[in-house]
Structure 1
Amino acid sequence: MPSFTLYTNVSRDKIPDDFLTTTTKLMVEMIGKPEKYMVVHVIPDQVMSFGGSTEPCGNAFVMSIGKLGLQENKKITKAFMEHVKETLGIEPTRMYITFNDEEKMNVGYDMNTFAPDQ
């Protein structure tokens, strides 16, 4: 159920082959949910700018059921921005991360939701 989605103007050929697996491992470490539920989605080659410049930039979204909050989001932001800078060359000042702590009833999976049946 946790997901990390990154829209970026970095071209597909500049995204390392192991970016999905290393980002998944980072999500497991940061959010503490099982790897089998992690989704990492990268949308490269976007026509986008940040601050009027088309230098490498990104817009990321993190969703989880729980495990998010002020202190957690600060740690996740630092870790993901370091990871994205190191692997994709996007400076932390050229990217936003939006967090969504979703309710169990709003996340569908395996023909149901994560909310317990009543």
Structure 2
Amino acid sequence: MPLLSIETNTALPANSGRLTAELSASVAQWLGKPEAYVMVRLQHNPAMRFAGTTDPLAYCELKSIGLPESRTGDLSRDLCAQLEQLLSIPPERVYIEFSDAPRKFWGWNGSTF
């Protein structure tokens, strides 16, 4: 049920599967959810601009059932650190939208959670 979606103007390396694997494991750990339910989407979009420049940047969405509002600061810090390590995107060039999804609005396997 957790979804981490990352859109960046930074070219993705050939081993982007390794990146999504690392991010998937991190999301599961950060949220205390089984990785079997975690989805990670990583997209390259060269037509992005932030603060008037096209320097490396990322827009992220982290959605989950039961996303704790009290943890968004920690989640922001951890995700920004990982994006800096994996893609060399400075934390000040990252926006993150957090969403706590009600179970009835999250579908899976022909039903909802």
The normalised TM-score by structure 1 is 0.90
Quote the residue 1:8 is aligned against: 8
Aligned to 1:25: 25
Which ranges of 4 or more aligned residues in structure 1 deviate by more than 2 Å?
Answer: 12-17
Structure 2 counterpart of 1:19, which letter? L
Could you tell me how far 1:11 is from its partner in structure 2? 1.1
TM score, norm. by length of structure 2: 0.94
Q: Which stretch shows the higher mean deviation, 103-112 or 37-46?
A: 37-46
Q: After alignment, is 6-15 or 57-66 more displaced?
A: 6-15
Residues 61-95 of structure 1 show CA distances to partners (whole Å, capped at 9, x for unaligned) of 0000003213x111111110000001101100001
Aligned residues: 113
- For 2:93 and 2:14, how far apart are their aligned partners in 1? 17
More off after superposition, 6-15 vs 105-114: 6-15
C-alpha RMSD of the superposition: 1.3
Structure 2's unaligned 5+ residue stretches are none
For structure 1, list consecutive stretches of 5 or more residues without a partner in the other structure.
none
- Looking at structure 2, the residues matched to 15 and 61 of structure 1 have their Cα atoms a distance apart, in angstroms, of 22
Based on CA coordinates, which of the two structures has the bigger radius of gyration?
A: 1
State the AA in 1 paired with 2:31. Answer: I
